[in-house]
Structure 1
Amino acid sequence: MYKYLILILFALSAGFVSAQSHQINGSISGLADEEVYLMRILGQNRAIVDTALSDQTGSFTFNLEDDFPVGMYAVIYGPAQMIELIYNKENIRFIANAASMQAPVQIIESVENLIYYDYLFLKGYNLYKMELLEPLLNQYPKDDDFYKTMLEEYRLMGKQISDRVQTLSSENPNTIASRFVKTDSPLFTDPELSPEIKNTYQRSHYFDNTDFSDTLLIRSNILNSKIIGYLSAFQNKEMTKEDMENSLLIGVDTILEKAMADQQVYEFVIDFLIDGFQAVGFERGLEYVATHNQLEQFCENSERKAELANKMDLIKKLAIGKIAPDFTATDLMGNEITLSKIQAKKTVVVFWASWCPHCDEILPELKNYYDPLNTGEVEVIAISIDEERSDVQTAIDDGSYYWTNIAELKGWDGAVVVEYGIVATPTIFILDENKTIIGKPLNKYELKRFLE
């Protein structure tokens, strides 16, 4: 009996060890009895996947189950401090100092992170010095011996980074770190070249070391950072808004073409571009991605593909120049409101919430342009995503927002909210007298420009 019990306990113990086969052990001096978080990084999407409590010495442990996905993670602690780590089915052990964001992380155990931080330290240190030298090289007399010394040092530091990337990649070909390092490696141009030649070279060779068929890049912040860096080569301060937008679309076209190497990567890139363009209000970029994407060229009907297709249909439906989707809803006074029946030169449809801090900034500004005795000029339809009527009414009374107020009290699942694809507040649509969308202001300054 006892013999079998011991065997059962041993089997259960073995199963438990197998289920938690790897650990992340950290020790951050100055971080006693604090919560520490493990965050998964999927491009711009971040999610907390585990929590640990440090002891008196600042030590903590995350236990990772055998099926824990490989990729890039971050240990989050203190006031918005983080340590990036690569997990690839191995134990990770490191030490750091909570008192200084500049203090280097010391990797004690983990082949992946020894490689990664070897690269990060050299890149960070050399790029810092190169950035200091750049303005001197641009202004210093070129026939002076000191200029030649600076130029030689600048070139040497860039070569050191490139050589280190080559060494780490060739000596560790089967590691995730080598793939991340190779993709992340900076592209250097000679400082004596003209800005025009530098820019042309950057545009042509920026993705030379980027394998768009490598789906592991999705499980990091490497690819989205690379995309941002590439698009920066298509804009400068001297451009007009129209010229900059035209230039950016050329870059977007190149990115979309290269991302066709893999469906998952393509879906990732589409999602990243859409989210980024929505955040900055780049309407032409959104419309371009929505109308020029090649999602239908991929055979696999993934869930994400369907979601992106719906998202892009919504972008096209809500584009500048389109008629706003009509709706009928009951306002808080019990009146039936139909958008298409509103008689006003301009109609503002604003989605907001009582708990939204940015709404507290933009709604008072909107009130400056609303005259309840002259709604023929500007009419406001405010649609709350609150779930409690009392919260909505309190916010309305506190701000004296006595325009047309609608609250379906279904949160993000209200019919009008879903129809307009609302995922953030405030979201504003400016309509002309024909209910054509003429603007989507992101802040009170843009709102003022559309309503004055």
Structure 2
Amino acid sequence: MRDYTRTSFLILLTVFSLFSKAYAQGYRIEATVRGMQDSAFVLGHYNRSATLFVPKDTSRADAGGKVVFEGKTALPGGLYVILFPGNRKMIELIYSGKETNFAIEVDTADLNTSAKITGSKENELFYNYRKQLAAGSKEIEVLTKQNTPEANARMKAIQEGFGAYRKKLLAENEGTFTAQLLKMSADPEIPEAPKLANGKTDSMWVFNYYKAHYWDAFDFSDPRIMNTPFLEPKMERYFKNLVVQVPDSIIKDADLMVKKASANKDAKAWTVYYITNQYENPKTVGTEAVWVYMANKYYLSGEMGVSDEVKKRIAEKVATMKDLLVNKTFPPLTLTDPTGKKVSVQAIDANYTVLFFFAPTCGHCKEAAPVLKAFYDKNKANGIKVMAISTEHNLEEWKAFVKTYHLEELTNGFDALNQIDFNRKFDVVTTPTIYILDKNKKIIARKMPVEQIEDFLNYYQNKMARKL
């Protein structure tokens, strides 16, 4: 005879086990906020930076200030915040994804030092660290105003004491998400640098060490790092301050960063997007080549999954930009001048040629035209010429613009046959758009404000003179 009782019991155990597992994947976060009754709160996490917030749950505090966030669906790990009404204040929480049921009690008078944690070692560590930091900072603030040798000695002792405390906390809690976050938020520690022959510190060694260890604390394989405020500002600082702003150097570091992030699909996708986006319209002259490289290697190759429509737009942009990068020879361009004669960019005899693509109806172009005229008048004796090119096709508006802003002495060009797509052919997405060419019509700068032309040319000519 079959033992149905035993079978039913095993099924019941299995169901209970599955139910327990499913419930364990949920969350329950209880916060008691003294001084905030009958108020609505939002629970969410950061997303790569301190300015991006992803809400995950909402709840309302009772008359005693207790608010409970609860759900059966797992929350992703990260650095969470409980936002107060009106976003005036917030409570930060470590959510490792392992401690899913815990409580915090705070007083609105001091959210850091008043916090009491139940059921979360991660948050106990986090808030003990904050209390220690706040106590030291408060004492240092008082000592700074005294400005005496004794006060300075005491400040040094406080800083060294906190450093020792931090080092001990990190060593004793290796493997916790809190320790990982504290490391991520800090700069790498630099050992004593070697001395040069003159006895001074080798600053290049310091720089190279700092850059080489800049990402040591980041575990890109951990998806939780995406839900913290550290990744984007750290990436921005890396490329802005530690990478030489020339295409070869940027491309080398871009590939290095993508490789680091490849252990995490989301981190890799964001890293590729971030770097690519920074160099489509970059702040540094000549670095658009990075965008073309990233677009080819990661998007058009199929390595990054994008729709056919997006890939098509990227391919069109690459086709436009590849011949308009710094150090490329500007493509042939022949237009008509106000007298009806043909004028060609390649035929302009000048040490430097400034191409000013404008639209006669564009407000910014009207503001830029007098600045351009003043630049030309000041520099024309130095072998610098300017070609002003209308991207619109109204003949009367073009002639009126030239006359109004006294540009007759410049070389003026107009697409009389209405055959040129200035956007696709010359990457004129907005007006005015400026290119600067050398004597051989090689592009030496592109897309800079008209106010910066003179400073750039002075810098460029000095750089060329140093090479001679």
Q: The TM-score by the shorter chain falls in which range?
A: 0.5 to 0.7
1:245 match: 245
Conserved? CA contact 1:75–1:83, under 8 Å: yes
Conserved? CA contact 1:22–1:64, under 8 Å: yes
Alignment deviations for residues 411-446 of structure 1 (CA, whole Å, 9 cap, x no partner): xxxx987999999x8895546699976545566743
Q: Give the superposed CA RMSD.
A: 6.6
From 146, 155, 160, the counterpart of 2:165: 160
2:259 match: 260
2:214 match: 206
1:20-419 to 2 correspondence within 5 Å?
21-22=26-27, 27=33, 38=44, 40-42=46-48, 46=52, 48-49=54-55, 66=73, 68-74=75-81, 78=86, 84-89=92-97, 90=100, 106=115, 108=117, 111=120, 112-119=122-129, 154-170=159-175, 172=176, 175=177, 177-189=178-190, 194=201, 196=203, 197-230=205-238, 234=242, 245=245, 253-254=252-253, 256-257=255-256, 259-263=258-262, 264=265, 265-277=267-279, 281-288=283-290, 290-291=292-293, 295=297, 301-303=303-305, 316=322, 319-322=325-328, 346-349=354-357, 364-365=367-368, 368-369=371-372, 377=386, 379=388
2:463 match: none
Alignment deviations for residues 99-147 of structure 1 (CA, whole Å, 9 cap, x no partner): 88x966847467344444545665687799999999xxxxx9xxx9998
Q: What amino acid maps onto 1:157 in structure 2?
A: F
Q: What is the deviation of 1:41?
A: 0.3
1:389 match: none
Larger Rg: 2
Conserved? CA contact 1:35–1:54, under 8 Å: yes
Q: What amino acid maps onto 2:216 in structure 1?
A: D
d(CA) in 2 for partners of 1:167, 1:98: 31
Q: What is the deviation of 1:367?
A: 6.0
Conserved? CA contact 2:77–2:95, under 8 Å: yes
User: What is the aligned length?
Assistant: 374
Conserved? CA contact 1:41–1:74, under 8 Å: no
Conserved? CA contact 1:40–1:48, under 8 Å: yes
1:238 match: none
TM-score, normalised via structure 2 length: 0.51
Percent identity at matched positions?
Answer: 15
d(CA) in 2 for partners of 1:60, 1:182: 31
Q: What is the deviation of 1:29?
A: 5.4
Q: Which runs of 5+ in 2 are unaligned?
A: 1-18, 195-200, 334-343, 375-384, 393-403, 408-420, 459-468
Q: What amino acid maps onto 1:303 in structure 2?
A: G
Conserved? CA contact 2:272–2:294, under 8 Å: no
d(CA) in 2 for partners of 1:250, 1:205: 18
SS of aligned partner of 1:268: helix
Q: What is the deviation of 1:202?
A: 2.0
Conserved? CA contact 1:28–1:98, under 8 Å: yes
Q: What is the deviation of 1:149?
A: 7.3
d(CA) in 1 for partners of 2:358, 2:127: 47
Shift of the 208–184 alpha-carbon distance from structure 1 to 2, 3 Å rule, reads same
